[in-house]
């Protein structure tokens, strides 16, 4: 019973992973004031499905400190090309509109949280974003 209650509690605290597209990218990622983890994925990819489950747990572990979004590369090919996505899944971590880290392939919840914690500790020392230099051409 305690396990069930813990699961229900985690689900109610978890922020959803928002699916975004090329139109939303600037507002949701580039101009965000918080750390953003972007999952470049495709529905047909088994590794992407595995990582999707891991990211749901990461969202719980972040406790709202990091925004997690996903971009379907089949529906948004320009974003994939702009950020040099050659393999999926690929995670990009954005701080102040700039790519601060990249994880290619599947990764454990612990590894992703460790990377996010490291980035969030150093986020205050990163300069303000140059939106013109980072905005993909649509």
Please give the share of the chain, as a percent, with pLDDT higher than 90.
Answer: 72
Domain 13-120 top-level CATH class = alpha beta
User: What does 21-52 look like in DSSP terms, one character per residue?
Assistant: -HHHHIIIIIT-SSEEEEEEE-TT-HHHHHHH
Q: Where are the domains of the chain?
A: 13-120
d(C-alpha 30, C-alpha 42), whole Å: 22
HSE toward the beta carbon, residue 23, CA cutoff 13 A:
1
Pairing of strands 98-104, 35-41: unpaired
- Which pLDDT value is given to residue 31? 96
Tens digits of per-residue pLDDT, 38-68?
999 999 999 999 999 999 999 998 888 999 9
d(C-alpha 11, C-alpha 81), whole Å: 34
Work out the pLDDT band at 133, boundaries 50, 70, 90.
Answer: very low
Give the best-scoring range by mean pLDDT among 8-17, 85-94, 126-135. 85-94
d(C-alpha 128, C-alpha 120), whole Å: 15
- Which pLDDT value is given to residue 132? 47
On the question of pLDDT at 112 being above 90, the answer is yes
Tens digits of per-residue pLDDT, 16-34?
899 999 999 999 999 999 9
On the question of pLDDT at 130 being above 50, the answer is no
- Which pLDDT value is given to residue 54? 97
- Which pLDDT value is given to residue 4? 46
- Which pLDDT value is given to residue 101? 96
- Which pLDDT value is given to residue 121? 85
On the question of pLDDT at 75 being above 70, the answer is yes
């Amino acid at each position: 019973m305690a396990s069930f209650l813990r699961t229900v509690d985690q689900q109610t605290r978890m922020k959803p992973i928002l699916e975004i597209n090329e139109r939303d990218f600037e507002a949701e990622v580039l101009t965000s004031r918080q750390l953003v983890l972007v999952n470049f994925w495709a529905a047909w990819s088994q590794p992407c499905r595995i990582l999707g489950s891991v990211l749901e747990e990461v969202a719980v572990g972040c406790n709202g400190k990091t925004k997690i979004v996903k971009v379907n590369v089949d529906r948004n090919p320009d974003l994939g090309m702009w950020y040099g996505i050659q393999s999926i899944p690929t995670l990009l971590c954005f701080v102040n509109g700039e790519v601060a880290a990249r994880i290619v392939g599947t990764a454990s919840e612990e590894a992703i949280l460790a990377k996010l914690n490291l980035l969030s500790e150093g986020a205050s020392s990163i300069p303000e974003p140059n939106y013109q230099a980072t905005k993909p051409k649509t």
